A and B are shown apart, each in its own frame.
Chain A
Amino acid sequence: MLSRSIYKVPQGKLLKISLTYDENTNMISQVRITGDFFAYPEEAIELLEKELKNSVLEREYLIKKIRSIIKKYNIQFIGIDAEGLTQAIVMCKP
């Protein structure tokens, strides 16, 4: 199932998520994170998208996963954060 969300991070930037996931297993098969935020290094966003494949579409799981990816690749976000990203992704689920 393909689903989208738009989420304005409080005091931050706009996140637009395009998500494909399996409704039965609740597993993410593809996620695309777009928006007017900043990330350093920029290319890390593609790594984040790749690492989120096969993740469970569930808030607690995702926030831990995103925090660990941020740490792993030493990503610095400006205008968004792990909580905002998680919220935007979870919002894709009706």
Chain B
Amino acid sequence: MSEQWRLLLTGGNTAFVNMAVDRAILVTHSEGKVPPTVRFYSWVPPAISIGYFQSLTEEVDIDACKKFGVDYVRRITGGGAVFHDKELTYSIVISEMHSSIPKNILKSYARICNALIRGLQELGIRGTYAPINDIVVDGKKISGNAQTRKINTVLQHGTILLDVDVDKMFSLLKVPNEKIKDKMITDVKQRVTSLHHVLDTSIGFDQVAAAMKTGFEDEFRVTLVEGTLTDEEIMHAKRFEKEYFSSFHWNHRR
């Protein structure tokens, strides 16, 4: 019988809750209290997340976010700014010691991304891992990923774009040089794609989640069993939401 991991389908939540839940699972799993966990989720309202090392005010147009009702949050993972709107977001939390997780960080990105690539295959799409942290289809980015390792535990989260609105994204992000903004928008439109674009039809979150579930099961040879957050995870998440992800201090720390 294959190993059983937990599957969480937590639906749409605020940016602050989403980042708090990922961290809560990390902490709880590190204490051996919950199995390796794969979570699929979305962002309500839409939100910008920035990498741990990014400057909030240099990357995000906070006034524009307020105007459009878009949240913003600093992640505990590195990487770049992401506009989370029409997408499936996943996270996986698993011990660094687990035999399925390469010790080498880049190799572990590749391994986890391979689960997503298998998921894309389920949808009839051929994706390829593009180091450091992307998955591309026909050379265009469809997925970005970011990993942290804390308390001997790996947390990787990332996106699969269901649809993309580059103009809206750039109305919320700051660019280093306003003079080249139009060119950057054109470049990004050429370099980014979505399931909607590739399949030439819109596809729902649930269908993509089902495909990705199969992708993770096939890649790691496990069974994902749907579960819920434990009371302890909910308690941790509430604390992390308050003390970190919704706080001015955390989001403006760089």
A-side residues, CB < 8 A to B, are 6, 12-14, 16, 32-42, 45, 76, 78-79
Contact = CB atoms under 8 A, between A and B. Distances in A.
B80 A42 contact: no
Given A78-B105, A79-B132, A38 B81 contact: no
Interface of B: 51-55, 58, 76-81, 105-106, 132-133, 146-150, 176, 254
B105 A40 contact: yes
Given A42-B76, A78-B106, A34 B147 contact: no
Given A6-B176, A35-B51, 11 more contacts: A12-B132, A13-B80, A13-B132, A16-B176, A36-B54, A37-B51, A37-B79, A38-B79, A40-B149, A42-B77, A45-B53
B81 A76 contact: no
B6 to A, nearest CB: 25
Contacts of A13: 80, 132
B132 A42 contact: no
B227 to A, nearest CB: 28
Contacts of B254: 32, 34
A35 B77 CA distance: 12
Contacts of B77: 38, 42
Given A32-B254, A76-B105, A38 B55 contact: no
B84 to A, nearest CB: 16
A14 B79 CA distance: 10
Which of A36, A37, A79 has the most CB atoms of chain B within a 10 A radius of its CB?
Answer: A36
Contact of A34 (B54, B149, B150): B54
Given A40-B105, A78-B105, A78-B132, A35 B146 contact: no
A34 B223 CA distance: 40
A42 B105 contact: no
Query: Chain A binding site: helix, strand, loop or mixed by DSSP?
Result: strand
B240 to A, nearest CB: 15
A78 B81 CA distance: 17
B55 A34 contact: yes
A69 to B, nearest CB: 16
A37 B58 contact: no
Contacts of B147: 38
A9 B55 CA distance: 18
A37 B105 CA distance: 13
A36 B80 contact: yes
